[in-house]
Amino acid sequence: MARYQVSLLPGDGIGPEVTEATRRVLEATGLGFDWDYCDAGLGALEKHGDVLPEATLDSVRKNGLGLKGPITTPIGSGFRSVNVGLRQALQLYANLRPGKTIKGVQSTFSDIDLVVVRENLEDTYAGVEFDTGTPEATEVISAINKLSDKQVAADSAITIKMITPEGSRRIVEYAFVFARKNNRKLVTAVHKANIMKYTDGLFLRIAQEVAAENPDIEFNDRIVDNMCMQLMQKPQQYDVLVMPNLYGDIVSDLVAGMVGGLGVAPGGNIGKDVAVFEPIHGSAPTHAGKGVANPTAMLLSGALMLRHLGEVEAAERVEGGVAKVIGEGTKVTYDLRADRDQSKAASTNEMADAIIAAM
Ligand code: NAD
């Protein structure tokens, strides 16, 4: 029987609760897992003085596989986001965010089956920023003003948008490989190349080149604002959407909203040799420690991990168990109930038990 070594990062807030539920459900598939528990987030800060200790990164690098709960980004300067830090340290360039309707989850939309592939490392998220009025900003602005016809105001704050040919190629190639592996028919590149002719223009040009190399899969492109409108009007016309970082952040939350919100939205961060799967939602501090959090997004992230490992049948059993329990609507957490009545809702663990029984 297959056995997998997985770095498990329970995170903080509701993270440990949804992680424990997920661990139990994944073990109920019959596959073997050696879980390497790793600290990250607030607990790690107290224990090791670092929200993302090197030992955690080493474990994920060694195993090539991580399953991660949400992690709070402490408010205040000096703290790096563990989530962004992890993606950058491990070069997890692709953020995979599927959005599929689950029967029984309340939503304005039905029959949604979309996958957002978001570039994870470049764009305005690379972290090259200069604050208003600083000597660095002044120097950058004066260099720009020497080189450009268009002048930047002296007191501007600056965030650099970086798009490289290599970064664009690898994310679009990833989208095509994912589409082929998952029997998907269409890849849509999302951009704003009509306005940002060089950065988004480069992304679009590379996307068109990669599309020409993959003629078995249909390709088109949409300007991001039009894409948002079309997702509201005719989402069934779309399939796999690939886009730079910032648009991906926004459009994937839009898609999460179309299938019922953060509680049911899974995600994966994929690099060349390492992949880390995590729910899209945050640490929901107000619910922490109460056993009421919805484990679905984390469970479906676990199922994505199984698919990544080629364990399709096990993934389908998890997804099927989740769909059955949500469809029945009795053993579900409060957020999945129409009345949101906590006193009638299942706890995180009770919902996980029902899913295990349904599998
Ligand atoms: P959040 O996702 O934690 O919460 C948003 C809303 O959704 C809240 O009302 C919350 O109660 C609800 N919610 C989220 N997940 C739920 C679940 N599983 N079950 C039931 N209800 C759920 O977002 P936020 O409040 O903006 O962020 C809280 C913290 O999480 C911040 O520190 C933020 O930086 C961090 N965060 C981390 C990640 C990550 O680890 N990848 C992602 C987003 C936010």
Distance 282 CA to ligand 1 centre (A): 3
CB 14 within 8 A of CB 71: no
Q: Say whether 125 is catalytic.
A: yes
Structure confidence at residue 208 (pLDDT): 98
d(CA 121, CA 174): 14
Residue matched to tokens 């957020």: 335
Give yes or no for residue 77 having a pLDDT over 60: no
Q: Is the CB of 252 under 6 A from ligand 1?
A: no
| More confident position, 178 or 81 | 178
Distance 192 CA to ligand 1 centre (A): 29
Structure confidence at residue 256 (pLDDT): 94
The 10 Å Cβ neighbour count of residue 156 is 15
Q: Is the CB of 281 under 6 A from ligand 1?
A: yes
Ligand 1, atom 30, lies closest to the CA of: 282
Structure tokens at 136: 């660095």
The 10 Å Cβ neighbour count of residue 137 is 19
Structure tokens at 357: 């029984």
pLDDT per residue as tens digits for the range 254-275: 999 999 888 899 999 999 999 9
User: Which pTM does this prediction carry?
Assistant: 0.92
pLDDT per residue as tens digits for the range 8-29: 999 999 999 999 999 999 999 9
Give yes or no for residue 224 having a pLDDT over 90: yes
Q: Is the CB of 263 under 6 A from ligand 1?
A: yes
Ligand 1, atom 27, lies closest to the CA of: 282
d(CA 257, CA 311): 28
Q: CA torsion 231→96→282→12, rounded to 10°?
A: 170
SS3 assignment, position 309 = coil
User: In whole angstroms, how large is the CA radius of gyration of the chain?
Assistant: 21
Structure confidence at residue 80 (pLDDT): 67
Structure tokens at 350: 């009770």
- Determine if residue 176 is left, alpha or beta; phi over 0 gives left, psi from -120 to 50 gives alpha, anything else beta: alpha
Q: Is the CB of 9 under 6 A from ligand 1?
A: no
Distance 86 CA to ligand 1 centre (A): 18
The 10 Å Cβ neighbour count of residue 102 is 19
CB 122 within 8 A of CB 246: no
Task: Give φ, ψ of 221 to 5 degrees.
Answer: -140, 155
d(CA 262, CA 298): 10
Burial 84-93 (b: 16+ CB within 10 A, else e): bbbbbbbebb
CB 256 within 8 A of CB 265: yes
CB 223 within 8 A of CB 193: yes
CB 256 within 8 A of CB 99: yes
d(CA 348, CA 12): 15
